Amino acid sequence: MTGPSFALLATDGVARRGRLATAHGTVETPAFMPVGTAATVKALTPAMVAATGAQMVLANTYHLMLRPSAERIARLGGLHRFMGWDGPILTDSGGFQVMSLASLRTINETGVQFRSHVDGARYELTPERAMEIQYLLDADVTMVLDECVAHPAEPDAVAEAMRRSLRWAARCREAFRARPGYHLFGIVQGGIDPALRAESAAGLRAIGFDGYAVGGLAVGVGQAAMFDVLDVTAPLLPAAQPRYLMGVGKPDDLVGAVARGIDLFDCVIPTRSGRTGQAFSREGALNLRNACHAEDPRPLDESIPCPASRDFSRAYLHHLVRTNEILGAMLLSWHNVAYYQQLMADMRAAIEAGRFDAFCDDFNRRRSGDDQ
Ligand SMILES: C=CCOC(=O)Nc1nc2cc3[nH]c(NC)nc3cc2c(=O)[nH]1
């Protein structure tokens, strides 16, 4: 693999259509990554995940370092072989919630010391160890170790965490083993303060990364504040590298963030909500537990080329959810991920055709009508 790994194929306003090349294949952007926390996209086989059109999945450094450990996965040939996914994999911390649970951890310049939520054993995660773990996992995209402060937080604490994260990012860059097709992404922090976000973006650009994530936004800040941060932060990131909004989000979050220049997303919502009986649809979210579906012979959405969306009635899915059958969680997770992939494919096509504004108007009209 030679030359730049990210190609910007088209823009429509601020929205971007790109292609990221990795050691395990390419990713058409804007893209949504299903979350495979502990080396599995819950309730789905790799073949089911691939059938949705997903190209890259996410796994969590924190969870895998505890169980089964990065060393064991390396001895077994790396994460791709271990979990049976031969496409690109991005590894993030996954434990950022754990990191922010004070009782479980201490943070100092060296790194993060914490007790495993599994067995209470003590661990230390330093920038260097985080790079080693993701190398052992053979991640195509490695995320720097950062300190993600839970919102809301004291401005001084947010500033201190962001500046420490910059020092850690430099150590990660130093420790990362550069190889063709393998990428290291920096993570912009700074809470909802535009000046701190700008300082973080400038500091990361000075170090130089293969991609730039916007972190610390997905939990608790709300969509309006998140979009305000993106309006300030995205333009400060280099256009030639991918931009990744961590942990986001609902379908309307994705549309608004693509409109603000974001290329990559990950979120547990499609799989987690599928396990609770929720299905996404163009009419808005459906809860298949609801009695109104009990005799509805229609499939969830015949326009989506996924067996879960096309080949089963809402009545049957209602039955599976009501009886808590495992197949219910499988089919709804499968449909929801396929729904998200269809949304991304529709956005990619709209940007290519220069009609992204019309796409957004149509999306918002459907949604507002349904949210009554
Ligand atoms: C090896 C360590 C690599 O470090 C990181 O991946 N750091 C990091 N991960 C995040 C993950 C998130 N998931 C969500 N979902 C709600 N929001 C997230 C925010 C962050 C974040 O600000 N930082």
Q: What is the pLDDT of residues 132-153, one digit of tens each?
A: 999 999 999 999 999 988 888 9
**Is the per-residue pLDDT at 192 higher than 80?**
yes
Is the complex ipTM more than 0.90? yes
Q: Is 96 annotated as a binding residue?
A: yes
At 14 the pLDDT is 98
Q: What is the pLDDT of residues 335-353, one digit of tens each?
A: 999 999 999 999 999 999 9
pTM for the full model? Answer: 0.97
Q: How far is the CA of 96 from the centre of ligand 1 (A)?
A: 5
Per annotation, catalytic residue among 138, 253, 266, 301: 266
Per the prediction, the chain carries an average pLDDT of: 94
Query: For ligand 1, is residue 246 a contact (CB within 6 Å)?
Result: yes
Q: Is 36 annotated as a binding residue?
A: no
Is residue 371 very low, low, confident or very high in pLDDT (cuts 50, 70, 90)? very low
Q: Which of 79, 137, 141, 148 to mutate to test the pocket of ligand 1 (most atoms within 8 A of CB)?
A: 148
Q: How far is the CA of 371 from the centre of ligand 1 (A)?
A: 30
What is the arithmetic mean of pLDDT over 279-295?
95
**Is the per-residue pLDDT at 249 higher than 60?**
yes
DSSP letter at 180 equals: T
Is residue 370 very low, low, confident or very high in pLDDT (cuts 50, 70, 90)? very low
At 246 the pLDDT is 96
Measuring from atom 1 of ligand 1, which residue has the nearest CA? 93
Domain-wise residue ranges, the chain:
6-267, 274-366
Q: Is 210 a catalytic residue?
A: no
Is residue 119 very low, low, confident or very high in pLDDT (cuts 50, 70, 90)? confident
Separation between Cα atoms, residue 65 and residue 67, nearest integer Å = 6
Beta-strand relationship, 141-143 and 211-214: unpaired
Measuring from atom 14 of ligand 1, which residue has the nearest CA? 247
**Is the per-residue pLDDT at 324 higher than 70?**
yes
Q: Is 266 a catalytic residue?
A: yes
Question: Which atom number of ligand 1 is nearest to the Cα of residue 125?
Answer: 1
The CATH homologous superfamily of the domain defined by 6-267: Queuine tRNA-ribosyltransferase-like (3.20.20.105)
At 105 the pLDDT is 84
Cα dist. 65→71, 110, 112 in Å? 8, 18, 14
Beta carbons within 8 Å of 70's beta carbon, 6+ residues apart:
61, 64, 132, 133, 134, 136, 137
Q: Is 189 annotated as a binding residue?
A: yes
Q: How far is the CA of 49 from the centre of ligand 1 (A)?
A: 22
Q: Is 92 annotated as a binding residue?
A: yes
Is residue 120 very low, low, confident or very high in pLDDT (cuts 50, 70, 90)? confident
Query: For ligand 1, is residue 247 a contact (CB within 6 Å)?
Result: yes
At 98 the pLDDT is 61
What is the arithmetic mean of pLDDT over 153-181?
97
Nearest CA to 95 among 78, 111, 77, 74?
111
**Is the per-residue pLDDT at 176 higher than 50?**
yes
Q: Is 78 annotated as a binding residue?
A: no
Residue 20 φ then ψ, to 5°: -105, 125
Q: What is the pLDDT of residues 25-73, one digit of tens each?
A: 999 999 999 999 999 999 999 999 999 999 999 999 999 999 999 999 9
Measuring from atom 8 of ligand 1, which residue has the nearest CA? 93
Q: Which of 37, 96, 243 to mutate to test the pocket of ligand 1 (most atoms within 8 A of CB)?
A: 96
Q: How far is the CA of 55 from the centre of ligand 1 (A)?
A: 20
Is residue 10 very low, low, confident or very high in pLDDT (cuts 50, 70, 90)? very high
At 117 the pLDDT is 79
Q: How far is the CA of 108 from the centre of ligand 1 (A)?
A: 18
Is residue 372 very low, low, confident or very high in pLDDT (cuts 50, 70, 90)? very low
Q: Which residue has the tokens 């993701």?
A: 134
Is-contact 65 72, C-beta < 8 A?
no
Query: For ligand 1, is residue 343 a contact (CB within 6 Å)?
Result: no
